[in-house]
Amino acid sequence: MFVPLHDGSTALIRPIAPEDAAALRRFHWTLSEDTIRNRFMSAKPNLTSGDTRYLCRVDGVDHVAVVAVDPQRPEAILGVARWVRYPDAPHRAEAAFVVTDRMQGTGVGSALAIALADLALERGITELTGSMLADNLGSENLFRRMAGGDVAVKRMGITNDVTAVLPQRPGRLAAMAARRRMRPGVRTETHRRRHAWRHAVAA
């Protein structure tokens, strides 16, 4: 599905495929150390062949993943989101997100989160959980988007465990795309400040 972004561009949200392995490795190389740390909760400068095999070869039932790509450059991944169902609790799944730094604040993460929620409901999942570093407010907010409001947060020192109970409203990604077409947004102030700081450092 094509989803408008807050900077005036558009992202294509689609299921990940085995053929995305090389693109996923290139995407990982674009991520800053902080973004990698927020996604994996540790340093991970490269994805191994085993990593990409696991991340791209999903079954679409118990392991679901979607990517956001640039429609003008479909080989360029902008973000990835996935969930994996708990074997002992089939109504629950663990979710994770990552968006390339230059696109953070443009609405890519929200689109991926809502796409995950839609796919979860279609497959009988009613709760999505995640473990994240305590200062990773971006991911916590994505769980709030999936829940349509408050989430349960268990604070455990340097990490938080978050649970989002999904609203029984299918088709939320299509509704989001329609709203954005009617009311184009802008990049968040956080993204503007980050982009300005990096530009100043690069100069």
At residue 164, what are phi and psi to the nearest 5 degrees?
A: -110, 120
Instruction: Tell me the three state secondary structure of residue 120.
Output: helix
- pLDDT for the residue numbered 186: 58
Domain borders along the chain are 2-186
Q: Which CATH code is given to the segment(s) 2-186?
A: 3.40.630.30
Single-letter code of the amino acid located at 131: S
* pTM of the shown model: 0.88
Question: Which of the four pLDDT bands, split at 50, 70 and 90, describes residue 183?
Answer: confident
What are 139-167's pLDDT values in tens digits?
Answer: 999 999 999 999 999 998 999 999 999 99
Alpha-carbon distance of 188 to 106, in angstroms, equals 7
What are 42-62's pLDDT values in tens digits?
Answer: 989 899 999 999 999 999 999
What is the pLDDT averaged over residues 5-15?
95
